[in-house]
Amino acid sequence: MKVPMQWIRDYADIPTDAALYTRRMIMTGTAVEGTEVIGEGISGIVTGRILSMERHPDSDHLWICQVDVGGEAPLQIVTGAQNLTGGEIVPVCLDGAALPGGKAIKAGKLRGVESRGMLCGGSELGVDDSLYPGAGVDGILIFREEHPLGVDVRPLLGLGDTAVEYDILANRPDCQCVWGVARESAAAFGVPFKMPLIAFAEHGGDVHEEVTVEVLDTALCPRYAARVVKNVRVGPSPLWLRAYLHGAGMRSINNIVDITNFVMLETGHPMHAFDLSRVKGRRIIVRRAAPGETLRTLDGKDHMLTDRMLVIADAERATGLAGIMGGEESEIAGTTAELLFECAAFDRTSVRLTARALGIRTQSSARFEKGVAPATVSDALHRACQLVDMLGAGETVSGEIDIYPNPLPPRSIEASVKRIQKLTGVTIPAEDIAAILKKLCFDVALEGDTLTATPPPFRQDVDSDAALAEEALRFYGYDTLPSTLPQGEAMPGARSPRMRLHDKVRGVLTALGGHETMSYAFTSAQAAAKLGLAADDARLDPVLIRNPLGEDTGVMRTTLAPALLTALSLNLSHQNEGGLLFECGAVFEGHTRKEGELPVETQTLCLGAYGPGWDFYRMRGVVLELFRVLGIQAKLAPGADVYYHPGRSATLTAGDEAVARLGEVHPDAAEAFDISCRVYLAEVNLEALARLQAPMTGIRPLPRFPAVTRDVALVMDDVQPVGPVLDAIRRAGGKLLEHADMFDVYRGTQLGTGKKSVAFTLRLRAEDRTLTDEEVGKVFDKIVRSCETQFGAEMRR
Amino acid sequence: MRETIHQILEEARGAIGEVKSAADLEALRVQLQGKKGSLTALLRGMGRLPAEERPAFGALINSARETIAEMIELRGMALRKAERVLRLEAERLDVTEPRPQPALGAAHPISMVLGDMVDIFVGLGFEVVEGPEVELDTYSFELLNLPKNHPARDAQDTFYIEDNIVLRPHTSPVQARTMLSRKPPIRVICPGRCFRADEADATHSPNFHQIEGLLIDKNITMADLKGTLDAFARGLYGEGIATRFRPSFFPFTEPSAEVDMTCVACRGKGCRVCKGTGWIEVLGCGMVNPKVFELCGVDASVYTGFAFGIGLERTAMMKYGINDMRALYEGDLRFLTQFR
């Protein structure tokens, strides 16, 4: 909300220094986004009268003017404007003057003729017809009134004041107006709030004979007040009114519309003026729209209404959307002779839903949405009538319509001063609390520790002792808060188990060179489809967002794989060398969710890698190392998912549960993400890791007896996976086999086709003695025999 | 005889001195001390000596053998040392030559900032609690004094799945769940992902992270809130960082405050980052609204408490000088590899 400071100053004596004003307002709770001088940059421009004009000898369009700027001798100024005849008072830029935007005016010569300044037009000054009638003319701005010569033109054109841009908090709808911020300003600077005396003349007649008003839905319209003005004279508004509206960012339309806008800005009450002669049957009915009823609003748009929308209707049809916009039918026109001023309170939710449904947002609807106090409706209406008087815009008929069946009784709050002091931690004296509340227009009684405060009707937000504490502290000063630490029993802080697991995972993966990434939890419905999943795959049944920002963020992700592939693709497109990326985050199940229930969220880890040094085995190694660190035993089996290379992918299972899948990405899936090289992916269920992880319990003592190391090469079918053979060796080796590993694979013609020789190293050791050759030989033979029987493997000699 | 031995020793000394390699020395050793060696020959000829001279002669030869062995040993050591020096010289590397570099990865900047903050709050006795990212409206709004018609709930701000299911717009629902499930005293922080319907640009992200705190106990004051946040600010940015409270409004708290922190870039002197004010807006906080206590089953006549919420993206951007929030969500290694 933008307000010129002079308008505030009408009601509270605030400092002229905008920076000083702003600082204090911010520290007392009225946010100020910024200030702006209206007509910023203008200097050295004064009134001057054109005494004479003659043609420039060397030009067919330039004029040489002698201009009286109040000095001893007139100034000679050359102008190209064609709208002057001589005798006019105009704005004159003296030598050294400045225009908005930093343009400087210097004395000089124009085609050889001396010109000691410049005459200027409205557009050069940033003044249009709305602020000063006639300013929009093509040529020089001509003052419509007599003015002394040589005086600063800014005040004459409604310029020079500073406008303050306020950012009003959601709980302070009362501050959406000049009176509201003036009240806060007065309290902030310890000066009185000068509420204007509102008085106007009633010119006889009886409003009840002019019009009837019925409110059929008092829930949506708790108060409706109206006045009738006759002998209306629609015309331009005076400069002061135009300047206030201009400073507040509104355009001047005519005196009647300007009055309604002025009252809205000043009091916070949106008003509407109807041309009474065009209100059919001279009846106003406030009712819900009939389903399918249509209305053409002031902006010429047609709307289809529903019975959840409140309208202002006449005897025949809806003529306005309550609190949002009037109808074209009863709009004020130049010929309007009698009018009805409406000032009402409408239900904020109803206004909000209607405005949203119809896609209309006006200053009026914005105010009603935040909340307008019914109690102060008549103040606003009277202020409008007072302005009609002041502007000579018509004659107010005697009597008032005011339908206000359920006025809210004043509520008083009892609070303990000690509790306010304890809540804030600041010992604000009881008298200071009372004084602050009085400044804010509360009724206050103080008896011992008990403070009884009755908020003014426009302060619906204050309804508890905590709220009173905030009011008191705002003006006592938030900067008086001391810095203390909470007392009470000591509590051990801790990370959550989930966070500890994530920390551990992150620690392992970064140590292995991984860089953590983060992506949005919502994605496009196509992201999972790009993996090439089967049509009935549960991951193609995501949780849908009802109001997404766009298609690419319309569903909750069911898998992290697309995010990692997208990141790999991005890095490839930047020709980055490659590396390991990983992300931890939730995926959301759509297929198991029932209406009204939250989806299952599963914390998942996804890794993606490409570049030099990356292959299937390195990715497998990263995952296995993570499992080792977490103390999880898992079995590897070939094959993972459709978007993996069928021969270069694996699944890790613990118990019966698949806990990780990994491998080279299938070229079809890679291509879907614009990836043309080999990339590697791994997906790990972190919830499973959380369940399965086994904390380290203690160490094994170091061996005291020597070990015996034997190597053995076994010839087996080439298609025989080595993993199961190694498992069999370990089983057969039993307790004495301390360590077994593969160290070479050999394929050669002497082995025969379809055969390979796999070399293993075996280390045997007993805890309590040095092994004899005989013992070693027995174990060794058992291992070889077991491989022979299980896999048809033969020892290579 | 003596002369012969002396001569053998002198010859051996000369030969050993001239040997240039360990291998040659070994050959010489075999020659001097082996079966064909001159001392061995002398020893063999000892039988021709009178019996009474033999012991003295034997001792003489043995002493000569020892002397030779010693000379060989010494020469060997010297040769090995010289050879090692030569080898080391030959093995000289260009230590400036570039080679593949083993490299640690890095946590995401948001994880790093979160970790730093969690450390501070855990030190102050706060426990980390978490909750679902897709959340019931009840916990997200209603129990937090944001009734159905509150403007902050409008569809333009919050993502909806159903009428009563939202993508949580803050981590406050975890606080509501905590109040309903635990008895005070409560000291928790709730970090996590949140969502608001803001188009992504340099300073906004529809998917973002927050850390919220809640402390409930007897006799908790707003001054305690200030003290806690002061400790937090110093913990995160070091001594000399202060907080400034400004009145504000959040439905969840009353009184409420917006908190500015001494600008980290200029330490309060005023710079471009803080637009010359010396302060940067960092978080919102306040005393838990008695209405929230009532809704969440906490006895407001016995307990008071405070709550605060901090955006992690903005903190990370401030700490690392990141000027576009979108960089946090792209996964570009040129960005990620800068963190350590």
Sheet hosting strand A212-215, strand order edge to edge? A212-215, A283-288, A310-313, A318-321, A325-326
| Exposure of A587 in the CB half-sphere (CA atoms within 13 A) | 26
According to the model, what pLDDT value does residue B152 have?
Answer: 59
Residue A408's pLDDT is 85
Interface touch B161/A546, C-beta < 8 Å = yes
Give the pLDDT score at B49. Answer: 80
Q: Which fold has domain A2-38+162-189?
A: Phenylalanyl-tRNA Synthetase; Chain B, domain 1 (3.30.56)
Which residue of chain A is at minimal alpha-carbon distance from B150?
A349
Q: Are strands A644-654 and A708-717 parallel, antiparallel or unpaired?
A: unpaired
The mean pLDDT value for A79-85 works out to 89
Q: How far apart are CA A602 and CA A594, in angstroms?
A: 17
User: Distance between CA B325 and CA B201 in Å, rounded?
Assistant: 7
Can you read off the two tokens belonging to residue A336? 């309007």
d(CA B23, CA A536): 78
DSSP-based three-state secondary structure for A474: helix
Does B230 contact A at CB distance below 8 Å? yes
Which residues in chain A are contacts of B217 at CB distance < 8 A? 486-489
> Rg of the Cα trace of chain A?
42
DSSP codes joined into one string, A740-751: EEEEEEE--GGG
Query: Cβ distance A688 to A654 under 8 Å?
Result: yes
- Where are the domains positioned within chain A? 2-38+162-189, 43-157, 207-403, 413-480, 497-692, 708-795
CB contact under 8 A, A545 and B167: yes
Using alpha carbons only, give the angle A56, A62, A66 rounded to the nearest 5 degrees.
70
Q: Tell me the helices (H) and strands (E) count for chain A, helix number first.
A: 21, 39
Q: Give pLDDT, residue B59.
A: 85
> Count of CB contacts below 8 A, A vs B?
262
Judging by beta carbons within 10 Å of its beta carbon (0-12, 13-18, 19+), is residue A550 exposed, middle or buried? exposed
Portion 53-112 of B in contact with A at CB < 8 A:
102-108, 110-111
* CA A293 – CA A676 distance, rounded (Å): 59
Mutate to test the interface with B, among A368, A420, A428, A491 (most CBs of B within 10 A): A491
Answer yes or no: are the C-beta atoms of B140 and B157 closer than 8 Å.
Answer: no
CATH class, domain A708-795, is: alpha beta
Q: How far apart (Å, rounded) are the C-alpha atoms in residues A592 and A543?
A: 10
| B332 near A CB under 8 A | yes
Burial A570-607 (b: 16+ CB within 10 A, else e): bbbeeebebbbbbbbbbbbbbeebeeeebbbbebbbbb
Query: Who's near A559: CB < 8 A, 6+ residues apart?
Result: A528, A531, A539, A587, A604, A606, A683
CATH topology agreement for domains A413-480 and A708-795: no
Q: Which B residues 10-49 touch A at CB under 8 Å? A: none
Q: Do the Cβ atoms of B151 and A518 come within 8 Å?
A: no
Query: In chain B, what residues touch A556 (CB-CB under 8 Å)?
Result: 134, 167
Within 8 A of B129 by CB-CB distance, chain A residues are 496
For residue B262, with 0-12 CB atoms within 10 Å meaning exposed, 13-18 middle and 19 or more buried, which class applies?
Answer: buried
**B253: nearest CA partner in chain A:** A466
Q: What does the pLDDT look like over A419-465, one tens digit per residue?
A: 999 999 999 999 999 999 999 999 999 999 999 999 999 998 999 99
A513-543 pLDDT tens trace: 999 999 999 999 999 999 999 999 999 999 9
pLDDT at A300: 85
Instruction: Please judge whether B122 and A585 are an interchain contact, meaning their C-beta atoms are less than 8 angstroms apart.
Output: no
Calculate Rg over the CA atoms of chain B. Answer: 42
Q: Which two tokens stand for residue A241?
A: 């009114």
User: Which of chain B's residues have a Cβ under 8 Å away from the Cβ of A548?
Assistant: 159
CB-based contact B133 A586, cutoff 8 Å: yes
Chain A interface includes B228 (CB < 8 A): yes
Q: How confident is the model at residue A158 (pLDDT cuts 50, 70, 90)?
A: confident
How far apart CA A609 and CA A682 sit, in angstroms, is 9
User: What is the CATH code of the structural domain delimited by A497-692?
Assistant: 3.30.930.10
Take residue A658 and report the two structure tokens written for it.
């698949």
The pLDDT score that the predictor gives to residue A245 is 94
Please report, in angstroms and rounded to a whole number, the separation of the first and last CA atoms in chain B. 81
Q: How far apart are CA A400 and CA A396, in angstroms?
A: 10
pLDDT of residue A241: 94
Alpha-carbon distances, residue B117 vs A686, B54, B257 (angstroms): 23, 92, 20
Using the Cβ of B248 and the Cβ atoms of chain A, whether some distance falls under 8 Å is answered with: yes
Position B156 scores a pLDDT of 58
The residue type at A355:
A
Q: What is the nearest CA distance from A504 to chain B, expressed in angstroms?
A: 11
Q: CA distances (Å), A238 to each of A148, A233, A254, A549, B109, in order?
A: 19, 14, 10, 47, 59
Mean pLDDT by 10 residues, chain B (340 residues): 82 88 87 78 78 83 87 91 92 92 94 96 96 96 86 72 94 96 96 94 94 96 96 90 93 94 87 85 95 95 96 92 94 96
Counting beta carbons within 10 angstroms of the beta carbon of residue A660, is it exposed (0 to 12), middle (13 to 18) or buried (19 or more)?
buried
To the question of domain A413-480 being in CATH 3.40.50.2000, the answer is no
Q: Helices B22-33 and B2-18, interaxial angle, to 10°? A: 170
Task: Locate the chain A residue with the closest alpha carbon to B126.
Answer: A493
- Going by their DSSP bridges, the two strands B253-262 and B279-288 should be labelled as antiparallel
Q: In angstroms, rounded to a whole number, what is the distance separating the alpha carbons of residues A157 and B73?
A: 112
Across the interface, of A424, A486, A492, the residue whose CB is closest to B215 is A486
Half-sphere exposure of A384 (CA within 13 A, CB side): 33
Tell me the chain A residues in contact with residue B195 when contact means C-beta distances shorter than 8 Å.
521-522
CA angle (A291 as vertex; A285, A296 as ends), nearest 5? 65
Q: CATH code for A207-403?
A: 3.50.40.10
CA atoms within a 13 Å half-sphere pointing along the CA-CB vector of A520:
26
pLDDT of residue A185: 96
pLDDT at A653: 96
CB contact under 8 A, B105 and A547: no
- CATH annotation of A43-157: 2.40.50.140
A345: exposed, middle or buried (Cβ count in 10 Å: 0-12, 13-18, 19+): buried
Give me A479's structure tokens. Answer: 């900067």
What φ, ψ does residue B319 adopt, rounded to 5°?
-65, -40
Contacts with A581 from chain B: Cβ below 8 Å: 331, 333, 336
* Residue B102 β-bridge partners: none
Distance from the B237 Cα atom to the nearest Cα atom in chain A, whole angstroms: 18
**Distance in angstroms (rounded) separating the CA atoms of residues A736 and A780:** 10
DSSP string, A47-90: EEEEEEEEE-TT-SS-EEEEEE-SSSSPEEEEE--SS--SS-EE
Average pLDDT, chain A: 93
Find the closest chain B residue to A542 by CA distance: B161
Q: What is the pLDDT of residues A174-203, one digit of tens each?
A: 999 999 999 999 999 999 999 889 999 999
Q: Is A242 exposed, middle or buried (0-12, 13-18, 19+ CB in 10 A)?
A: buried
